[in-house]
Structure 1
Amino acid sequence: MLGMSALTGMQRYRNKAFANPEDAALQNVKVRTDDNVERVRRAHLNDLENIPIYFVASFGYMLTNPSVTLALNLFRAFTAARFVHTFVYAVCVIPQPARGFSWAIGYFITGFYGRTNCLSFPSLI
């Protein structure tokens, strides 16, 4: 997620598309939006919507004493899916369904963790 902040800043500087008047004034440009900047910003927002809840769900999942092999492979799959999602969304734009598939993998893994957590800790419901 930190990398996405840097990528957003680089896109803003490269395209001279600043969101704040004080930033635009430093470059002697007006505040404006840019499609490339907005794409990276949306990818960053998507990360912020999905990764924190994954961390919470995966921490709970680790407390369920899962199979080490299954847990490790799910952690790897989620991480790979998020990298692919970010890459095809913000870096090298590839048409759907590539982004949708990579998002769905992470979504279903997070859902699996949530289901497992609820079944293992019914008092959470």
Structure 2
Amino acid sequence: MSILEILSPENEVFRAYGFWASVLVLKVLGMAVLTSMARKKKKAINNPEDRVFLKPEDQNVELTSSDPDVERVRRAHLNDLENCIPFLIISFVYVLTNPSTFIGVNLIRIGVVSRIVHSYSYLNALQPYRGYGFGITFLVMIYMSLSNILYFL
């Protein structure tokens, strides 16, 4: 199969990548919005210029970056940045190996759904589900990485 056929909308694995990668990016962007909303709600700003987003009566709030609720959302977002970007890269390279449709589509789907479970569990302090969400995506990335290495060896 040529590269143009692999990166074609007719290729089910590439279609799955396009769909689920978009879902994952929207989830990461949503975490940025949640972080901002948590900062505003808790009045936990750490830059003086951000006071503009507060109500007039809250303009004198002390700068802080130590609110535990805000920090939980921020850490969940940081974890996304640390894991979703490598997932997007390694899964794209995996698509280039032209894997079987069943395996390729399901690995991508499982990886993204696991990241969603991880974020939800992180925000709501739900262990062991947070660990499962992280671990499953991690194993998917290990499998894809090893497959890529063997393919391009």
Q: Same fold (TM over 0.5)?
A: yes
Partner of 2:140, secondary structure, is helix
1:34 aligns with 2:61: no
Residue 146 of structure 2: which of 112, 115, 121 is its match? 115
Kindly report the root-mean-square deviation, in angstroms, between the aligned alpha carbons of the 2 structures.
1.2
- The equivalent of 2:78 in structure 1 is 45
- How far has the Cα of 1:82 moved from its partner? 0.5
Q: Once the 2 structures are TM-superposed, how far is the Cα of residue 93 of structure 1 from its aligned partner?
A: 2.3
The equivalent position to 1:93 in structure 2, one of 120, 125, 131, is: 125
Percent identity reads 43
TM-score by length of 1: 0.91
- Greater RCO (CA < 8 Å, at least 6 residues apart): 2
Would the alpha carbon gap of residues 26 and 13 (structure 1) be closer, same or farther in structure 2, given more than 3 Å must change? closer
Determine helix, strand or coil for the equivalent of 1:119: helix
Aligned pair count reads 120
Distance in 2 (CA, whole Å) between partners of 1:107 and 1:20 is 34
- Residue 24 of structure 1 deviates from its aligned partner by 3.5
Post-superposition shift, 1:21? 1.8
Structure with higher Rg: it is 2
1:116 aligned partner, one-letter code: S
Q: Which residue of 1 aligns with 2:33?
A: 6
Partner of 2:46: 19
Runs (4+) of structure 1 exceeding 4 A deviation are none
Contact 1:11 1:36 survives alignment (8 Å): yes
Provide structure 2 residue ranges, at least 5 long, that are not aligned to the other structure: 1-27
In 2, distance between residues paired with 1:2 and 1:45? 11
TM-score by length of 2: 0.75
